[in-house]
Chain A
């Protein structure tokens, strides 16, 4: 599975399909997040800083994205 940032959010590519998955997160996650590997905690912190949001609302956003990814079968919780 590969992913990259697009105007609408995240574009996932499952090359074994092949299938594309469009996840409309808009600018929630910065491009730098896709270089290297990061923890979920790091993602929450980067969203909090980037969007000047409270930790709680950042956590809610991440939860929403993860739920969306789970519904599309891209992550398993």
Chain B
């Protein structure tokens, strides 16, 4: 990765995570957005169109769409059509329960990539986290997407419950022509309450790093650079991309460094009222994030592979930035989360 060019500052994000609604028909116990019902102040269709136009004009390449469940918005497919007309790629993270043959037909566009969430290789392990019946609905959705040859990955959040099912999940994904993508569990949203119950321990994290090395086709997005090894160096980011390559827009139009840092202190602006280019260029929040240094990591032999790891996990577990990711492979610092625990 051209870190030196990223450090020069890009004219716009490469991609923007956009959580388009808080509404969701499932109640996953680890939901980062604490999603459920639509909230007051969510962006209207017209406001969404303005945001798409603004970001397209800045040549942002891609929207990573999430929520809530994006398909809960009645205008969702129309908004995606508009983004595609502007040449933007959309990577849609969905729980899959709204995808039937008709919807798959609407999604059949080379600019669309789908990520369907699944938390286990069996109904028992998945439904314990995502709710009864959700496994079978996802399997049906995968069938519809496969029929249309739509690019899809199964996205799973690594937890101690599915840790032993990754091989079976890889096989399951392959059966539907999909890739497996493993995301990191973060203690935000309802993940705060389920953190101690679900987060993998140090030994599991080390074993997962080893498993990743043996499964180079499995993608991790930007989640696991704290456990990256030489073998995966060329496969993704080796640093946090927040405010450098990416940022996040909430369902109300609030702009944050990333989806996992949506606390008031990280609010950089609000769309469509504020100028996105001005936020990207001049926001004090974004400036301070770009200057963020994790000094205590700089002498580590792994620094070049992870640059201190994920600031969001460090923040949520230690309530401050500029400290090491507690899931770091070199130290595997055992930090007790400050977040509220499940009773």
| A contact residues vs B (CB 8 Å cutoff) | 2, 4-8, 11, 13, 15-16, 18, 20, 22, 24, 34
Specify the chain A residue showing the minimal Cβ separation from B58: A4
Would you list which residues of chain B between 58 and 81 have a CB under 8 Å from chain A? 59, 61-62
User: Which B residues are CB-close (under 8 A) to A18?
Assistant: 15, 62
Contact assessment for A22 and B62 in the assembled complex, using a CB-CB cutoff below 8 Å: no
Would you list which residues of chain B between 136 and 170 have a CB under 8 Å from chain A? 151
Encoded as 1 (CB less than 8 Å from any A CB) or 0, chain B from 110 to 130 comes to 010100000000000000000
Would you list which residues of chain B between 1 and 51 have a CB under 8 Å from chain A? 1-2, 5, 8-12, 14-15
The docked-state distance in angstroms from the alpha carbon of A13 to that of B14 is 8
With contacts A20-B2, A24-B5 taken as known, whether A6 is within 8 angstroms of B62 at the C-beta atoms is: no
Contact assessment for A22 and B5 in the assembled complex, using a CB-CB cutoff below 8 Å: yes
User: Which B residues are CB-close (under 8 A) to A8?
Assistant: 2, 5, 8
| B contact residues vs A (CB 8 Å cutoff) | 1-2, 5, 8-12, 14-15, 59, 61-62, 87, 89, 111, 113, 151, 245
Specify the chain A residue showing the minimal Cβ separation from B62: A15
Contact assessment for A15 and B89 in the assembled complex, using a CB-CB cutoff below 8 Å: yes
The docked-state distance in angstroms from the alpha carbon of A6 to that of B12 is 9
Specify the chain B residue showing the minimal Cβ separation from A34: B59
Given A7-B11, A16-B151, A20-B245; 9 other pairs, CB 8 A cutoff: A6-B5, A7-B8, A7-B9, A11-B10, A15-B62, A15-B89, A15-B111, A18-B62, A20-B14
The docked-state distance in angstroms from the alpha carbon of A7 to that of B10 is 8
The docked-state distance in angstroms from the alpha carbon of A6 to that of B61 is 13
The docked-state distance in angstroms from the alpha carbon of A19 to that of B278 is 26
User: Which B residues are CB-close (under 8 A) to A5?
Assistant: 11
Specify the chain A residue showing the minimal Cβ separation from B10: A6
The docked-state distance in angstroms from the alpha carbon of A20 to that of B10 is 12
User: Which A residues are CB-close (under 8 A) to B15?
Assistant: 18
Specify the chain A residue showing the minimal Cβ separation from B2: A22
User: Which B residues are CB-close (under 8 A) to A11?
Assistant: 5, 10, 14
The docked-state distance in angstroms from the alpha carbon of A20 to that of B238 is 13
The docked-state distance in angstroms from the alpha carbon of A11 to that of B60 is 11
With contacts A13-B62, A15-B61 taken as known, whether A4 is within 8 angstroms of B5 at the C-beta atoms is: no
Sample of 18 A–B contacts (CB below 8 Å): A2-B59, A4-B11, A4-B61, A6-B5, A6-B11, A7-B11, A11-B5, A11-B14, A13-B61, A15-B61, A15-B62, A15-B89, A16-B151, A20-B1, A20-B2, A20-B245, A22-B5, A24-B5
User: Which B residues are CB-close (under 8 A) to A15?
Assistant: 61-62, 89, 111, 113
User: Which B residues are CB-close (under 8 A) to A13?
Assistant: 14, 61-62
User: Which A residues are CB-close (under 8 A) to B89?
Assistant: 2, 15
User: Which A residues are CB-close (under 8 A) to B9?
Assistant: 7
